[in-house]
Structure 1
Amino acid sequence: MASVAPAPSTELAPLPILYRDDTLVAINKPSGLLVHRSPIDKHETRFAIQQLRDQIGQRVYPVHRLDKPTSGVLLFALDSDTARQVSQHWHRAQKCYVAVVRGYAPEQVLIDHPLRYEPDRYGDADKSSCPVQAAQTEVKRLACFELGAAVERYPTSRYSLVQCQPKTGRKHQIRRHLKHISHPIIGDAKHGKGIHNRYFAEHLQAPRLLLAATQLQFAHPNGGHTVCVDAPLTDCFAELVRRFGWCNALPPQWLPDHATG
């Protein structure tokens, strides 16, 4: 009698919990996971808000959001009042990201470049009528790497590991600002360069957007004390950092071996 192969498991891996108390919980969101339902991806069936709710057995309320391809610290409240309190002071929160970009980025630069608001679906609004908003991002180069491969017309290809601290919260701000200074993020299908994205996907096993939210600091709504949450890099992003010899350029808590969740 022929054996029957077991059906593939549909069980989702638990979301890594980075911080939790009586009112808040933070996870390390994987790349490719939407925070909640969105008109930009109607066919998606997996959402962080539902997965975390099922995982911890109670309702959660997103305080902010990360783009679907961006990984890292994502904060939820455990009740609506806390969510409202944190959201009211969210402009004071300090956020830190790391990214891999094309070329040797400046050692340090403040990108002060206004951005036009992008609706989720351009069909819902005339893009030219959307307001232009002030936007600032501090960028610091952490490390460089010269790859011995002719990805474009030069015999070698240069890349940088950068730290980004957005001072404002515009849609796709970091991605658009890095494109503005001609150092687009690797893996950015909308704002990057396809030839580099394809090379990293096909030859370096890095098919994702190489942008991660590695640290979040904010005032706790109960008491006002500062909470600092760090998220280690994961999957192919972490492997690429090792491969390029960039581990020493990052704080240990941003490296996967430090993960505790």
Structure 2
Amino acid sequence: MQSQCDLNAFSVIHRDDALLSVHKPAALLVHRSPIDRHETRFALQMARDCAGQRVHAVHRLDKATSGLLLFALDADSARHLSRQFEQRRVEKRYLALVRGWPLVQGCIDKPLRYKADALADARASKEHPPQQARTHFRCLATATLDQPLGRFPQQRYALLELRPETGRKHQIRRHLNHIGHPIIGDVNHGDRHHNHLFHNWRGYHRLYLAAVGLRVTHPHSQQPLDLRAPLQADFQSTLAALGVPVPLDAPPD
């Protein structure tokens, strides 16, 4: 089942003379895509409307992922910020609700096979070696749910903080599935039984992955800038229903 985009969850987080950061709701595309021809609203378009001028996308979030999205307001700032992402000088922080109880903390160091974009990479070579990929995680809270599934009367879940070093396609989702703790609501890399359980229990379906923090160097002042985004309301309400405290939007360490 497709998630329905809550356009009311779109909001401006920060704006200055060089950049604009917004909260992108789950199920909203960053920009127009031939793959989703039926979509009529896009974060790029909405950010442009908020800014009243052209904006430049400097990174992307998956359609299903909610949270902090950054745009530049001029071409020079866009190049400066894009270079930071390419050189891995941006600190990224995510929160995810996963199946099971992982270790308290750890690092997933597993190369990932290149995943070609169906359109952008249509003419590219199909032969790519696995790419280096590292994701640090920390368990913030655990919970049990008194809902039967299979042979278990209770289910275990955990809220994780994630800090990817690299930016491979669907890296966090693929890494968490690799260690046996897939993200709830992940259709492609998750557990469909737990996905259905949450849809039936909560009454809606979404990917429980959110970008909550970015630390960049401001393209004009050259000073560090911490940007933070709160969790979307539906994510917060699910955590509350599980008895998990909603984390404060603390900046990265």
Residue from 79, 83, 94 that aligns with 1:97: 94
Q: What residue is the counterpart of 1:214 in the other structure?
A: 212
1:42 to partner: Cα distance:
2.9
Quick one: which of 28, 31, 43 aligns to 1:36? 31
* Corresponding residue to 2:112 among 102, 111, 115: 115
SS of equivalent to 2:174: helix
| Secondary structure of the structure 1 residue equivalent to 2:139 | strand
Deviation at 1:188, TM superposition (A): 0.3
- CA drift at 1:234: 1.2
Opposite residue 116 of structure 1, the aligned amino acid is R
In 2, the alpha carbon distance for the partners of 1:85 and 1:19 equals: 18
Q: How does 1:35-184 map to 2 (within 5 A)?
A: 35-90=30-85, 91-121=88-118, 124=122, 129-184=127-182
- Which AA in structure 2 matches 1:152? G
Partners of 2:224 and 2:46 in 1: CA distance: 27
**Matched residues, number:** 242
- Following the alignment from structure 1 to structure 2, what is the Cα–Cα distance between the partners of residues 190 and 84? 32
User: Deviations along 1:128-152, whole A, 9 cap, x unmatched?
Assistant: 6233100000011111111111123
* 1:230 alignment partner in structure 2: 228
Calculate the TM-score normalised by the size of structure 1.
Answer: 0.87
Which position in structure 2 is the counterpart of 1:251? 248
Range with bigger deviation, 124-133 or 231-240: 124-133
Q: Report the residue type matching 1:138 in the other structure.
A: H
The 1:178–1:133 alpha-carbon spacing in structure 2 relative to 1, beyond 3 Å, is same
TM-score by length of 2: 0.90
Q: CA deviation at 1:15?
A: 2.8
Where does structure 1 differ by over 3 angstroms across 4 or more consecutive aligned residues?
Answer: 125-128
Report if the CA contact (8 A) 2:9-2:24 is conserved.
no
Q: Which has the higher contact order (CA 8 A, sep 6+)?
A: 2
Rounded to whole Å, the distance in 1 between the matches of 2:37 and 2:171 is 23
Alpha-carbon separation, structure 2, partners of 1:216 and 1:252: 11
Q: Which runs of 5+ in 1 are unaligned?
A: 1-11, 255-261
Secondary structure in 2 matching 1:195: helix
Deviations 1:228-255 (A, max 9, x none): 111101121010111222226x12569x
CA distance in structure 1 between the partners assigned to 2:233 and 2:62 by the alignment: 17
Does the aligned pair in 2 maintain the 1:217–1:228 contact within 8 Å? yes
**2:80 counterpart letter in structure 1:** Q
Question: Contact 1:115 / 1:170 at 8 angstroms: preserved in 2?
Answer: yes
Residue 237 of structure 1 aligns to a residue whose secondary structure is: helix
Q: Is the 8 A contact 1:217 1:227 kept in 2?
A: yes
CA positional deviation for 1:202: 1.3
Shift of 1:105: 1.4
Matched, 1:198 2:196: yes
RMSD value, Cα: 2.0
- What are the superposed Cα offsets for residues 146-186 of structure 1, whole Å, 9 maximum, x if unpaired? 11111232111110000100000101000000000010000
